[in-house]
Each structure stands twice: as structure tokens, then as C-alpha cells.
Amino acid sequence: MTHFDLLVIGTGSGNMFLDDRFADLSIAIAEEWHFGGTCLNVGCIPTKMFVYPATLAEQAGRGGRYNVDTAFSGVDWTSLQDRIFSRVDAIEAGGRAYRSGDRQPNVTVIPEHVHFTAEKTVRTASGEEVTADRIVIAAGASPILPEVPGLDAARVDTPGYPIVTSNSIMRLPQRPASLAIVGSGVIAMEFAHIFASFGTEVTVIARSPRLLRSIDGEASAEFTRLFTADHNVILGAEATSFRVGEGSVEVTLEPSGRVDEVDVPNSVTAEVVLVAIGREPNTEGLGVAEVGYDVDSEGRLVVDEFQRVYSGAAPVPGVFALGDISSPFQLKHVANHEAHVVGDNLHADVLAGSPGSAALDGLRRTNHHAVPAAVFTSPQVATVGMTEDEARAAGHDVTVKVQNFSDVAYGWAMADDPGIVKVIADRATRRILGAHIVGHEATMVIQPLIQAMAFDQPADEVARGQYWIHPALPEAVENALLGLDFADR
Ligand SMILES: Cc1cc2nc3c(=O)[nH]c(=O)nc-3n(C[C@H](O)[C@H](O)[C@H](O)COP(=O)(O)OP(=O)(O)OC[C@H]3O[C@@H](n4cnc5c(N)ncnc54)[C@H](O)[C@@H]3O)c2cc1C
Ligand SMILES: NC(=O)c1ccc[n+]([C@@H]2O[C@H](COP(=O)([O-])OP(=O)(O)OC[C@H]3O[C@@H](n4cnc5c(N)ncnc54)[C@H](O)[C@@H]3O)[C@@H](O)[C@H]2O)c1
């Protein structure tokens, strides 16, 4: 049995807050997989490094729309992978070496799976018991696999098995000629864009009548309209079995019952199948429920606004959690924010003396207001705040404006490419309740609306109180704000 002052489980955002404030503590960091976790190794960073060239490839094939003669003639998959993963893998190795080497003599890296055997005790895969006064649980989430015949869950993401998740698809030795994607959420749409743009024959299998169905209805409908226009999408279909053959997988389909009068083909055959149906918090593998920690109906560790972990509806002294294991937002910017909160609160707890003794008024609260999210597909999607339905259900007297990109001069420069800015505001308070953008660089165009929500600025002041560069795309945001109809105008 080895005892530490602090145990951190997971090196995604869990690796972010350990700075000089903790130099006097003996610290163990458990990481069973890639140092740096999901975002660095298989998430945000490599996906966007594939998305950018994919968008260039797609645009090259569309030059005629802008009266220029361009064509996409291929991608060098191997050198693209090398460029991306030589960078990612070097950062992974550097992070591991930094924590493992002489520069951090107070830190011990445990490169193994750990699971709880008591409230403040974990056992490593090799059987060692580790105890700690304080623990930070930052163990993330993993892809969900459907329980359907023909899917060998143990072989998913192993070399040669053609059914994969986001954990391995970017490292496939060859770009597949055809790809079936089960799911129609964020991961499904980003990979559909990447592979289709590079010339793979992609088929998206969606249960719902719309793609990205969790976003605002109008934004989702607009995205679905645009994406289905030039991609193979089967809406209202459920994948009910897989048959792995020689060089291909047959996916059997049935109507999902979520779309009326749908004509679903019996099956789709592709070289590779990507399963992208959500990610579940890694609470089960950690055995947290078995030692009494509270886990909610979605499998998340229960934390309060100070990121303290709960057991029997009371905080466990000195135990914090952050990121996908406990957060309602599976987003890196949220995991990072929560890591900063944990770092500050853990430090306050250490200064206070015994675990759990820090006064509440000395602890920092997590801010989950105006959390933005984006889908880096084509067209891009960016959202912040409530959907229109949520705003109405919350009892707001709402005013809504949808502005087309093609209404502003930059939209004309883009040959009237489709794109919408939808802003939802409260008619009485003039505050922005939500904003949803579908179109070119939506992830950048939305930022003034995120800022306005974060700083609680009235919508009309945001529109009129600053210059908007002319003729730039954010003029569509300005016009959407100006189009809102307030009670006393
Ligand atoms: C394909 C993809 C693309 C994404 N793109 C974006 C994006 O563009 N923008 C965005 O904001 N978010 C994106 N995300 C989400 C983002 O990656 C996550 O929200 C974020 O990485 C979560 O960080 P985390 O620290 O909570 O967990 P992770 O980074 O997953 O870290 C958890 C770590 O804990 C380790 N671990 C788990 N259990 C144990 C155990 N029992 N013992 C030892 N170690 C353990 C894991 O190996 C892992 O390294 C994407 C996710 C995916 C999958
Ligand atoms: N750009 C980004 O910020 C980014 C990118 C990728 C992932 N992420 C994060 O990772 C999370 C997980 O992504 P995801 O795309 O796996 O999940 P998701 O929740 O976005 O989408 C999952 C989709 O799969 C569908 N689904 C669920 N069960 C199914 C089944 N059995 N068969 C068919 N479809 C089924 C759901 O209805 C949903 O539409 C996201 O919610 C997001 O927070 C973020």
C-alpha cells in the first residue's frame, strides 16, 4: 500500500491544474492510456487537423460556383496522418516525460487502470493499493457501443477489425473507399465531412428525422437540408445487426419508427463502419458507485458547483471531479474551466488543513452560463444558450430573428452560399437567450453573441454600441440583433 497526499485519475484536463501551488505534495497521477486524454490524442485536436484540409478539399471541388476553375484530385492520407500525429504524439510523449521525470520529483505516474476499493483507496491493474488524502477524478468518457448482433465489442478499435469508433478511425492505415456511419450527432457529422471530402463514399445512418437533432430545431433542419443535398444520408433508420465479411461489413437496417413513411434500404455495405452514438462517463470502470459515490441516471459522478464529489448526498472531504466524468457538457473548454476551478478549490482545501475543511466562501464556483458548442463539419454549426423551444418552455416572452448570410454583402461575395444566424432574446429584458449559426465559419461568427451572453449585455446595445466591420460576415449577426422585436420599442 502506497500513500499520497493527492491522487489524480486521468490526464486530459486532469493534467492541467497541477502547478507550483502543489509542489510540496506527494502526488500520484494514474493514466491507463494516452497522456493528454481524449482531446489531444483522439478528439478535438486531431479531428480539426483533419477537418481543415477536408474543407479545402471540398471547396476545391466547388470552385465552379465562384467562377473559378479548381478541382480536388486527391489526398495523401499517409502524409496527412504523419503531419497530424507526429505533432500530437510528440506532445503526448512530452507530457508523460515531464510528469514522470526529474523535473517533477514529487509526482509519480501510475501508467495503469485504477479502480476504487474504498472511498480513498484505488487498486491498480497490477494489484497495488494506493491511498490518498485528496483525490481528483478526471477520468473522462468513452464511446458507447450498441448491443446488436455481429458486433464484437472487444475487437472494436483493434487492428484489422472494420468496426471502429473515433478512438481509432483517424489512424486507419488506409483511407477506406467506403464508410458507413451509425449515428448523426457531432462526431458522426465531423467524420462524415472529413471522409466524404477526401473521396470516401460515406453513408450516414440516422435514427431521427434530422441530423444534429439535439441543437435548435430550425438550425438542425437547415443543417439537415444542406448536408443531405450532397451526402448519402438515410434518415429514420436503425442499425440492427452487423455482418463482418471479407473486406466489408454489411449493416442491416430497419425503420427506427421515428420518421413517418420512410423508405429504408434493407442494408448498407461498407469497407469500414464508424459507430458514433454518444459517449458515456467512465464511472463504471472506476467502480465509484461500489464505494458509495453518487452517480446520476446518465452515469455521471455527482458534483456540486464547487466540483466536490458527493456520496450519500454529502460532499466527500477532499474529493473533486471535473470534465466528461461529471459534467453535463462533454466539451474541452468546459473540462478546462472545471479544471481551473478544481485547482483553486483544491489549493484552498490544502491551505485549510484537513481534507474538506476549506470554508465554502473561499471556494470558487463553476460557471456553466453561456456555454458555446460547435460542430466542425460543412457547413459549420455553432450554438450558445437555449434553443427556441427551451426558451419558450422556460416561460420567456421571446423575440426571434433569423438572418440569412446572403442578406449581407459578404454573403454576396460568397455567391449567396447558404447560412443562417438565429438569435433568441427575451422581449422584456432584452437579453440574448440563445444563438444558433449554421454556415461558413459559424464557429468564429458566433463569438460576439457568446460574449454578449457571458457579460449579460442587452441585445440592442450589442448591435448599436460597437462598429461592425463592413463588409464582413458578422454583419449578419448585427442585422439579426437589429431585427429583434423588443416590448418597448
Ligand atoms: C472525436 C472527438 C472530437 C471532439 N472534438 C471536440 C471539440 O472540437 N471541441 C470540444 O470542446 N470538445 C471536443 N470533444 C470532447 C472533448 O475531447 C472532451 O470533452 C474532453 O477531452 C474531456 O476531457 P476530460 O479530461 O474530461 O477527459 P479525457 O480527456 O477523456 O481524459 C480522461 C483520461 O482518464 C483516463 N482514465 C479513464 N479511466 C481511467 C482509470 N480507471 N484509470 C486510469 N486512467 C483512466 C483515460 O485514459 C483518459 O486519458 C471531442 C471528443 C471526441 C471524442
Ligand atoms: N466539436 C465538438 O465540440 C465535438 C466534437 C466531437 C465530439 N464532441 C463531444 O462528444 C460528445 C459525443 O459525441 P457523439 O457524436 O458520439 O454524441 P452525440 O450525443 O452528439 O450524438 C449521438 C447521436 O447518436 C444517436 N444515437 C444514440 N443511440 C443510437 C443508436 N443505438 N443507434 C443510432 N443512433 C443512436 C443519438 O440520437 C444522437 O443523435 C458530444 O456530445 C460532444 O459533447 C464535441
pLDDT tens-place string over residues 119-166: 999 999 999 999 999 999 999 999 999 999 999 999 999 999 999 999
pLDDT tens-place string over residues 345-359: 999 999 999 999 999
Whether 190 and 42 have beta carbons less than 8 Å apart is answered as no
**Same-domain status, 123 and 248:** no
Cell numbers at 283, concatenated: 464511472
**Same-domain status, 8 and 64:** yes
**Same-domain status, 167 and 266:** yes
Rg (CA), the chain: 24
Q: Annotated catalytic, 470?
A: yes
Q: Give, for 58, the enclosing helix (H) or strand (E).
A: helix 44-60
**Same-domain status, 266 and 392:** no
- Looking at 228, 259, 277, which one is the last position of a domain? 277
Q: Is residue 462 part of a domain?
A: yes
Cα(488) to ligand 1 centroid in Å equals: 46
* Cis ω before 111 (30° cut-off from 0): no
**Same-domain status, 328 and 386:** no
Ligand 1 pocket, residue 335 CB under 6 Å: yes
Cα(134) to ligand 1 centroid in Å equals: 22
**Same-domain status, 113 and 9:** yes
CATH number at residue 432: 3.30.390.30
CATH number at residue 101: 3.50.50.60
Provide the mean pLDDT of the chain.
97
**Same-domain status, 91 and 22:** yes
**Same-domain status, 138 and 284:** yes
Q: Is residue 158 part of a domain?
A: no
Between 39-48, 257-266, 316-325, the lowest mean confidence (pLDDT) is in 257-266
Answer whether residue 487 shows pLDDT above 70.
Answer: yes
Q: What is the Cα–Cα distance from 472 to 461, expressed in whole angstroms?
A: 19
β-bridge partners, 178: 201
Answer whether residue 380 shows pLDDT above 90.
Answer: yes
Q: Which domain range does residue 398 map to?
A: 379-482
Complex ipTM: 0.98
Q: Is residue 51 part of a domain?
A: yes
Phi, psi of 27 (to 5 degrees): -125, 135
Q: In total, how many domains does the chain have? A: 3
**Same-domain status, 332 and 448:** no
**Same-domain status, 346 and 408:** no
Strand-pair category, 178-182 with 201-205: parallel
**Same-domain status, 22 and 51:** yes
Ligand 1 pocket mutation, candidates 31, 44, 157, 341, criterion most atoms within 8 A of CB: 44
- Looking at 218, 242, 277, which one is the last position of a domain? 277
- Looking at 256, 277, 298, which one is the last position of a domain? 277
Cα(224) to ligand 2 centroid in Å equals: 15
Q: Considering every ligand atom shown, identify the ligand nearest to the alpha carbon of residue 30 and give its number.
A: 1
Give how far Cα 223 sits from Cα of 5, 75, 260, 380, 402, Å: 50, 26, 20, 9, 14
Q: What is the pLDDT of residue 261?
A: 82
Q: What is the pLDDT of residue 260?
A: 87
What's the distance, CA 93 to chain centroid? 23
Which atom in ligand 1 lies closest to the alpha carbon of residue 329? 19
Q: Give, for 442, the enclosing helix (H) or strand (E).
A: helix 442-445
